[in-house]
Structure 1
Amino acid sequence: MFNYKPLAALVALACAPAALAASVTQLDEVVVTATRVSTPVAKVLSDVTVLGREEIEQSGSLSLPEFLARQAAVEIYNNGGEGKSGGIYLRGTNSGHVLVLVDGMRIVSATAGSTSLQYIPLAAVERIEIVRGPASSLYGADAIGGVIQIFTKKGDGEPNVQTNVGVGSDGKRQVGAGISGKTGSTSYSLAFDHNQTNGFSATNSGVSYGYNPDRDGYDNTTYLASVQHEWAAGHSIGVTLYQTEAISEYDSSPDAQDEEHARLAGQSVELKDQLTGDWLSTLRYSHTDDRSISYTNGNFDQSDSTFETRQDEWLWQSDIQLAPGQQLTVGVSNVEQHVLSSTAFTTTSRSVNAAFAGYQGEFGAHRLQGSVRYDDNSQFGGKRTGQIGYGFVPAEGWLLRAAYGTAYKAPTFNDLYYPLSYGYQGNPNLKPEEATNRELAIDWRQGANFVKLTAFDNKIDNLIETTDDYSTVNNIGRARISGQTLETGSAFGVFSVAANLTSQRARDLDSGKLLKNRAKLFGGVTAGLQQARTRWTAEWRFSGRRPANSSNSEYLDGYGVVNLGADYQLNPHWTIGTRLTNIADKQYETAKGYNQAGRGWLLTARYSN
């Protein structure tokens, strides 16, 4: 059942910005990820958030995970600062329960089962779409908690040159440049970004092993390129190239340096054809690569381990306008995954063939959205998933909605086939994790002013857990995550404010314990003030105490972090920005034994012609 105890406090918080709301004209945002087609946010029957480039620049966030942690129902854990390993909890689900796409491509480790978000630089990101709740009926495995899609920069309009430089605390240096635009029927974008920091000690004395008080630096270089050409009216071809090379120092050896060398890359070719006035066909091929090489104990001549996932995907999708206000989406896909590793897995490849269909309909004040999908996985056979959503518009600007959906996650290669090593071995008999989710929501929007309150209840069966003696993994667990999220914001005159609050209870039903690293209450408030050429920003982000382990015998303290920023526009082309982060120098942990950044600063200069 839904837990409604915190709703009174959430509603009270929601009423304040709504009472201040003024009439502000704003273009309707659209979201692609929620339905696989461009749909106005106000008409989507899912819990979605759309974030643009302006919000990224004004946030002052140093990394993509840090920026995502500002959003409702998003928590992160980080093993020691920028570029360090970690994960993301979306609505309290595991980090492997979140599907991450980069321009529609899955860049994922099939051994670890998640995407290394810490290696995707914010400078390369133009737009982010977050869809909370199950989405396997559209995207297949892994989307139990939701989907995060990252869109890189694309060309449009007159040629535009952009550059940025920055320096900050802990020896941070960053530089980037790019050009984008459209000439005739061809749009293009080229970009480069380099980010480097000396860092700080990733670990403290609370870590169980490998404590080393040295600085743990980070170095990242990213290249982006895209070209789209419309060769006839309604017919186009597009090519997207993405590559990140990163070196991240970490603590595994107490007296020597350890490094991870990572590479994330993706290439795609996409054909879009408006076959008739009501039928749009999309055919896309993509190849992605996730590689990680570890060097330990100061030995950089011989790697300690290598893990690489190469993935090829073919997708064909048709979007058909059945009637005004009614649309059908159907498609098929094929995914081939290959693992190359220094670890001797008994199986190193798998394939998934899938077919899916989605429907959107508007009938006066009533709205209906649904999707179904069938995946045939070479490792564990077929899997069906579905989702249905109903919405009602009682008055302009209002939306009441309810949804039910199922999702699953396939076991990773590590879960299934990891060879016996240090007393641990994978389990080839594992079944996929399965989830059912219910949610209710009420949305109100008027221009730039909005209030959104969502209640969710997600049950996960066949939860894959490590046995108490750490000898293997089994389908022994069941989890239930229920809670509520509030998002609200207003703009009046030169002042804007936005806030979000998440109340949740994430627990293991077998043991009765809370899932580790998840807080019962967390959120934040962001405010902005525009004065002539200067925009001032302030952010407060907080989290309650969280269990540090599965037995709940230890807890991490709650924390609150305040960040301040200012952007000054020198002229139409140049903007100077400054950020003061964690101004109270709060010492806190998101994972036991791993440090987070103390008080810091960042100074940037951005140019756009």
Structure 2
Amino acid sequence: MKLSRLALAIALASPAAFAANETPRFDEQLKLPEVVVTASRTAESKGDTYSAVTVFTRDDIERLQPSTVPDLLRRTPGVQVMQNGGRGSTVGVFVRGTKTAQTLVLIDGQRANDTNLGGAPLNTLSVDQIERVEILRGPRSAIYGSDAIGGVIQIFTRRAEGPGLSPRVRVAYGSHDTWEQSLGLSGGNNATRFNLSLNHEQSNGFSRSSLRTGTDADNDGFENSSIALNLNHRFSSQTEAGLNISHTDSEYEYDGFGWSQFPYDEVKNSFYSAYLSHQLTQLWSTRLELGYSEGEMHNLDRAAVTDSFNETERESLNWTNSLSLSDAQRLQVGLDWYRDHIHNSGRYTEDSRYNAAAFLQHSYNGENFGTEVGVRHDDNQQFGTENSWNAAFKLPLNDRHQVTLSYAEGFRAPLLSDLYYPVNCYPGWGCSGGNPDLQPETSRTYELRWTGLVSPQVDIEAAAYRTELEDAINGWPPANLDEARIDGIEVTVSADLLGWQNHLSLSLLNAEDRATGNDLVNRARKTLSWDIDRHFGQFAVGASWSASGRTYFDPANTTVIPGYGLLGLRARWQAHPELEVAVKVDNLLDKAYYTTTNFGVPYQEDGRSAQLAFTWTPSL
């Protein structure tokens, strides 16, 4: 039978109810705001998780109208974003003060971090092809292994709306001659569901260099085409299989700052995954996933015959089992395996490695208290074995408030570029390259979190944490720092006041290199995000305010990047049951700001910009 949203939420929250009903479809679970998948690699009630998690559903994405995935992530407490060029260029994401390579990114369950560069292709993903985004803050290496020191970001591509056919067409035009066009078709029947999305974006861009001289005075354009397909079939009430495919092909320009004339990058990324899930008994469900991904980046120049390139491949296999031991207890048991390959113009001495792992996690959610204990054993081809632990204790103060005390370990294996980048020598600069003597990074995080329902209209979550990093990799050539320490406080308030929906996030951070006492680069000590929205019949209006304190560009803390505050406005009109019109203005006050520099020259961010969009969803 098909569960209603309320019944599905109850089924997920209670193992007994879950066992008594038909296993919910995975695509239906992904549409529920109070369900979380990333915390334990299986769907569970958000209230039962032991980690700080922010969830953006499809409804949230349409309400907030973000232009890119980084625009959406900026609204998350403890998350800071830095972009190294115009739209489409590489993005740095700092979760709870950790660097980009210390946060694991998953796309439909598959690892997306580049084994050579560390980041994931968040810059090329189309928000119109996304069903939901889950941001888990804090280490999760006991479940995911390497890279999950700062947290885990999981992106799920768009899913079917239900039986029948549901087409959609979206066209948007905005500043800098920016066009966005997308086509989508979803549907099926009670057994088979699918969603197909096609998207194209292009923009003339603007000059990111503040020099505005020579070749750096030109606009930095962007173009991206993408396709995403999700297909799943229900063989019976207990057995389901699915397939996910996504591919992006993009090109973006940037300023060379005298090192090159008209540089641009061509980037392609593909992710393929298939899964088979089965409810073996009322108490035991199992899921087998097979994945493959490939990435390709070419660094080019329109005024020269140059081509440095980087190509990566990853094969993966995951087997996860969930056992409901009782109404209050659940056990997660799984095996992980993946192999990374790299091929680039640098010709590394080592170009592949594998990682095999097993993990176990037990959770108990009783009336008087709750506990979670997990452990994972990784066997890495280069670095041998690593054990990661996590433990948490949850104490309900009453039916409205609870506190959670947790401890978690994390680790990250060095990138292949950190280890084996060829040594190059430059006159006047010396020689530099990879460091094959690097050791894996490790971390310990202690956290105290309080969640409370102050009133039926006001929900508050606050967390204080400390992360201690050992052998943190930094600099070039890369080296293991003795220790870094990150202290932070996060406060999130969700409130419905006088018909206005408010979401406020405040983060206070002190990320310090313990050897020097200096701040870690690109980490602001204070960040704030506030979204406010309201419906007036067929109309909806909203505003966003975000602010960030100053950061430092260099480890010596001599180059300061000033703080900034940004205001944005948005509105939507349901002009017809099949037609929605949306408009937004970002950086309304035309604030001049930047988040990073290149040899002391700021990479300017966009000033005031606007967009008008039409979405047509005809009925068939």
Could you state the TM-score of these two structures normalised by the residue count of structure 1?
0.92
CA contact (8 A) 1:539 1:563 kept: yes
- Aligned equivalents of 2:261 and 2:478: distance in 1? 32
Given the alignment, which residue of 335, 355, 362 partners 2:365? 362
Letter matched to residue 573 of structure 1: E
CA contact (8 A) 2:86 2:222 kept: no
Determine if the alignment matches structure 1 residue 387 to structure 2 residue 393.
no
CA contact (8 A) 1:253 1:297 kept: no
Determine if the alignment matches structure 1 residue 601 to structure 2 residue 607.
no
CA contact (8 A) 1:227 1:238 kept: yes
2:60 match: secondary structure? helix
- The residue number in structure 1 matching 2:420 is 417
- The residue number in structure 2 matching 1:40 is 45
Letter matched to residue 391 of structure 1: K
Q: 1:449 to 1:81 in 2, by over 3 A?
A: farther
Determine if the alignment matches structure 1 residue 161 to structure 2 residue 190.
no
Letter matched to residue 445 of structure 2: N
- The residue number in structure 2 matching 1:277 is 282
Cα deviation per residue 1:103-135 (whole Å; 9 max; x = unaligned)? 101122111112121111211111010100001
- Aligned equivalents of 1:585 and 1:179: distance in 2? 38
Determine if the alignment matches structure 1 residue 405 to structure 2 residue 402.
no
RMSD (Å) for aligned C-alpha atoms: 1.7
- Aligned equivalents of 1:80 and 1:113: distance in 2? 17
Given the alignment, which residue of 220, 239, 262 partners 2:267? 262
Q: CA deviation at 1:560?
A: 0.5
Counterparts in 2 of 1:544-563, with a 5 A limit? 544-563=549-568
- The residue number in structure 1 matching 2:182 is 176
Determine if the alignment matches structure 1 residue 328 to structure 2 residue 326.
no
Q: 1:447 to 1:360 in 2, by over 3 A?
A: farther
- The residue number in structure 2 matching 1:444 is 452
Letter matched to residue 162 of structure 1: R
- Aligned equivalents of 1:290 and 1:413: distance in 2? 15
CA contact (8 A) 1:164 1:607 kept: yes
Letter matched to residue 578 of structure 2: H
- Aligned equivalents of 2:506 and 2:98: distance in 1? 17
- The residue number in structure 1 matching 2:501 is 496
Given the alignment, which residue of 299, 308, 311 partners 2:311? 308
- Aligned equivalents of 1:485 and 1:181: distance in 2? 40
- The residue number in structure 2 matching 1:144 is 149
- Aligned equivalents of 2:373 and 2:579: distance in 1? 46
2:240 match: secondary structure? strand
- Aligned equivalents of 1:42 and 1:139: distance in 2? 21
Counterparts in 2 of 1:84-233, with a 5 A limit? 84-158=89-163, 159-205=165-211, 212-233=216-237
Letter matched to residue 243 of structure 2: V
- The residue number in structure 2 matching 1:17 is none
1:119 match: secondary structure? coil
Cα deviation per residue 1:70-124 (whole Å; 9 max; x = unaligned)? 1111111112332122301101100111100001011221111121211112111
Determine if the alignment matches structure 1 residue 510 to structure 2 residue 515.
yes
1:233 match: secondary structure? coil
Determine if the alignment matches structure 1 residue 474 to structure 2 residue 503.
no
Cα deviation per residue 1:154-186 (whole Å; 9 max; x = unaligned)? 124132111110000011000001111231311
2:521 match: secondary structure? coil
Q: CA deviation at 1:303?
A: 4.2
- Aligned equivalents of 1:161 and 1:583: distance in 2? 33
Q: CA deviation at 1:526?
A: 1.2
1:157 match: secondary structure? coil
Letter matched to residue 263 of structure 1: K
- Aligned equivalents of 2:232 and 2:409: distance in 1? 36
- Aligned equivalents of 1:547 and 1:580: distance in 2? 29
Letter matched to residue 434 of structure 1: T
- Aligned equivalents of 1:324 and 1:527: distance in 2? 38
Could you state the TM-score of these two structures normalised by the residue count of structure 2?
0.90
Identity fraction in percent: 29
- Aligned equivalents of 2:283 and 2:188: distance in 1? 27
CA contact (8 A) 1:293 1:303 kept: no
Q: CA deviation at 1:304?
A: 2.2
- Aligned equivalents of 2:472 and 2:212: distance in 1? 28
Counterparts in 2 of 1:18-97, with a 5 A limit? 29-97=34-102
2:594 match: secondary structure? coil
Letter matched to residue 377 of structure 1: N
1:414 match: secondary structure? helix
Q: 1:80 to 1:137 in 2, by over 3 A?
A: same
CA contact (8 A) 2:48 2:365 kept: no
CA contact (8 A) 1:91 1:132 kept: yes
Given the alignment, which residue of 324, 333, 342 partners 2:345? 342
Q: 1:503 to 1:357 in 2, by over 3 A?
A: same
CA contact (8 A) 1:156 1:182 kept: no
Q: CA deviation at 1:497?
A: 1.1
- Aligned equivalents of 1:64 and 1:33: distance in 2? 18
Structure 2: 5+ residue stretches without partners: 1-30, 426-430
Q: 1:27 to 1:548 in 2, by over 3 A?
A: closer
1:416 match: secondary structure? helix
The 10-residue stretch of structure 1 (342-351 or 359-368) with the greater mean CA deviation from structure 2: 359-368
CA contact (8 A) 1:101 1:107 kept: yes
Q: Which has the higher contact order (CA 8 A, sep 6+)?
A: 1
- The residue number in structure 1 matching 2:17 is none
- Aligned equivalents of 1:406 and 1:421: distance in 2? 36
Q: 1:235 to 1:27 in 2, by over 3 A?
A: closer
The 10-residue stretch of structure 1 (170-179 or 37-46) with the greater mean CA deviation from structure 2: 37-46
- Aligned equivalents of 2:303 and 2:402: distance in 1? 58
The 10-residue stretch of structure 1 (486-495 or 441-450) with the greater mean CA deviation from structure 2: 441-450
Letter matched to residue 428 of structure 1: P
Structure 1: 5+ residue stretches without partners: 1-25
- Aligned equivalents of 1:284 and 1:452: distance in 2? 34
Given the alignment, which residue of 243, 250, 253 partners 2:247? 243
CA contact (8 A) 2:139 2:445 kept: yes
Q: CA deviation at 1:493?
A: 5.0
- The residue number in structure 2 matching 1:434 is 442
The number of residue pairs the alignment matches comes to 576
- Aligned equivalents of 2:612 and 2:368: distance in 1? 50
Determine if the alignment matches structure 1 residue 454 to structure 2 residue 463.
yes
CA contact (8 A) 2:157 2:230 kept: no
Letter matched to residue 208 of structure 2: A
Q: CA deviation at 1:27?
A: 7.5
- Aligned equivalents of 1:70 and 1:607: distance in 2? 28
Q: CA deviation at 1:272?
A: 0.5
Q: CA deviation at 1:28?
A: 6.6
1:212 match: secondary structure? helix
- Aligned equivalents of 2:335 and 2:86: distance in 1? 40
CA contact (8 A) 1:537 1:565 kept: yes
2:173 match: secondary structure? strand
Q: 1:341 to 1:172 in 2, by over 3 A?
A: same
